[in-house]
């Protein structure tokens, strides 16, 4: 931040979203936004870095030489890592937030949040399980949201190539996932790269997304719209 390396640790919870405190200035930072909400750096915002949230199997298939961080034996033996049933246990915890809960979805319904040109939109995971890819327009841009063949990993891309918005559908009965665009008939992989057809070698622009609970996404993106099946 401003050329200075900060060191963070967990400081507390705000609207059930954790707060980090930096050791150098004592400022408190909101996890979901990366914004300092209290202290000398209040109003500053950490720069987000690109990341993927994938199942191990799908990641390993794409990155066969990838390395895996080994668990810390001391932390593991002390039982400080989250248990495998963390999601199931959290689903039973009452939601407490200063924001008014939007009952369009269950508070802890899982959504994929995307922001394009400062316009936020949430895609329920349940909708993606029934309809993938989702071809949509957000913030004046054509986008596509697609679920991997593991039925858990999700990616989003801009769907404009060489100035033309493409319409996509999933090639049936093919694993791993292959997308086909209606305009050129080219096939695209889950990484957004054309692997055959006249567009071979072209790459769709990846969009940042956040896998989140509906209440959390809505709290920090109050103007978000919510995708529903049949919207487009």
Task: Quick: pLDDT tens for 27-46.
Answer: 999 999 999 999 999 999 99
Q: Which two tokens stand for residue 157?
A: 């891309």
Q: Are 224 and 123 within 8 A, CB to CB?
A: no
Q: Are 58 and 148 within 8 A, CB to CB?
A: yes
Mean pLDDT of all residues in the chain?
93
Whole-number Å distance between alpha carbons of 3 and 152: 37
Q: Which of the 8 DSSP states describes residue 94?
A: P
Whole-number Å distance between alpha carbons of 197 and 159: 16
- pLDDT bin (cut points 50, 70, 90) of residue 232 is low
Span 159-188, mean pLDDT?
95
Q: Are 35 and 47 within 8 A, CB to CB?
A: no
- The strand pair at 160-161 and 168-170 is best described as unpaired
Q: Tell me: pLDDT of 97 over 90.
A: no
Span 3-15, mean pLDDT?
92
- pLDDT bin (cut points 50, 70, 90) of residue 84 is confident
The model's pLDDT over 100-141, given as tens digits with 9 standing for 90+, comes to 889 999 999 999 999 999 999 999 999 999 999 999 999 999
Whole-number Å distance between alpha carbons of 169 and 132: 8
Which residue stretches of the chain are H helix? 56-62, 73-77, 86-90, 125-130, 214-220
Q: Tell me: pLDDT of 63 over 70.
A: yes
pTM exceeds cut of 0.75 = yes
Whole-number Å distance between alpha carbons of 169 and 162: 19
Q: Which domains does the chain have, with CATH numbers?
A: 1-49 (no CATH), 56-86 (no CATH), 110-226 (2.102.10)
């Amino acid at each position: 931040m401003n050329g200075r390396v900060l060191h963070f640790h967990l400081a507390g919870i705000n609207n059930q979203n954790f707060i980090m405190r930096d050791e150098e200035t004592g400022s408190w930072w909101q996890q979901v936004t990366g914004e300092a909400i209290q202290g000398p750096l209040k109003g500053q915002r950490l720069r987000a870095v690109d990341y993927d949230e994938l199942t191990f199997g799908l990641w390993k298939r794409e990155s066969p030489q990838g390395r895996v961080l080994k668990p810390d034996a001391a932390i593991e033996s002390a039982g400080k890592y989250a248990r495998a049933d963390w999601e199931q246990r959290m689903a039973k915890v009452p939601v407490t937030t200063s924001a008014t809960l939007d009952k369009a979805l269950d508070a802890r319904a899982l959504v994929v949040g995307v922001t394009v040109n400062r316009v936020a939109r949430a895609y329920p995971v349940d909708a993606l399980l029934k309809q993938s890819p989702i071809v949509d327009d957000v913030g004046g841009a054509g986008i596509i949201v697609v679920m991997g063949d593991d039925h858990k990993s999700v990616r989003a891309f801009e769907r404009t190539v060489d100035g033309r918005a493409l319409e996509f559908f999933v090639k049936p009965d093919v694993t791993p996932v292959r997308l086909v665009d209606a305009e050129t008939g080219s096939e695209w992989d889950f990484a957004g790269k054309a692997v055959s057809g006249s567009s071979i070698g072209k790459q769709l622009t990846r969009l940042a997304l956040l896998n989140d609970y509906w209440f959390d996404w809505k709290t920090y993106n109050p103007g978000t719209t919510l995708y529903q099946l049949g919207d487009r």
